[in-house]
């Protein structure tokens, strides 16, 4: 009887160890940092809403008093088009659009873990209403948490 319980306990431990190889922080997002023209960190005072161009999809709703944002990336589309709508305290709005071209590659950590899609930024274009420039800091979009793109604003 004890021997049977020991075998069952060992089997349960081995089955439980299968998930250890899967990382806990496995969300693939592009991290944007808000900066001044000179590259210093900038806290956004206006309210920011981000939508996907051509769709009725809000992916970030009413962000305020933050200096960065992390946004999901489409799995296999060659480019993502983001519409950034800034609303000030008087209700006035301004919009900028970011076009991010990328390649996508399936990534496996372990056969027992779910598949993830990692991306490599190949080009970025943008409108210049409130955005002065975009600086690509890290082309690899995965779940390492590093900043990918700095958004440098025209006015503080």
Domain regions of the chain by residue span = 25-153
Residues 6+ apart with CB under 8 A from 150: 32, 33, 34, 35, 39, 134, 135, 137
- CA pair distance 10, 71, nearest whole angstrom: 42
State the pLDDT at residue 16: 47
- Whether residue 132 is predicted with pLDDT greater than 60 in this model: the reply is yes
End-to-end CA distance of the chain: 73
Q: Please report which confidence band the pLDDT of residue 70 belongs to, taking 50, 70 and 90 as the band edges.
A: very high
Q: Please report which confidence band the pLDDT of residue 143 belongs to, taking 50, 70 and 90 as the band edges.
A: confident
Average pLDDT over residues 97-115: 89
* Pairing, β 131-136 against β 116-126: unpaired
The DSSP code for 115 is P
Element (H, E) at 68: strand 68-72
């Amino acid at each position: 009887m004890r021997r049977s319980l020991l075998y069952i306990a060992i089997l349960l431990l081995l089955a439980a160890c299968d998930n250890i190889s899967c990382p806990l922080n496995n969300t693939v997002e592009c991290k944007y940092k808000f900066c001044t023209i000179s590259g210093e960190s900038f806290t956004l005072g206006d309210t920011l809403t981000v939508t996907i161009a051509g769709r009725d999809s809000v992916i970030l709703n009413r962000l305020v008093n933050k200096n960065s944002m992390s946004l999901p990336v489409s799995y296999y589309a060659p480019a993502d088009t983001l519409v950034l709508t800034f609303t000030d305290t008087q209700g006035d709005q301004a919009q900028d659009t970011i076009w991010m071209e990328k390649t996508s590659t399936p990534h496996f950590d372990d056969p027992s873990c779910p598949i993830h899609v990692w991306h490599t930024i190949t080009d970025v274009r943008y409108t210049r209403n409130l955005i002065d420039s975009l600086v690509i800091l890290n082309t690899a979009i995965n779940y390492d948490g590093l900043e990918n793109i700095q958004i440098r604003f025209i006015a503080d």
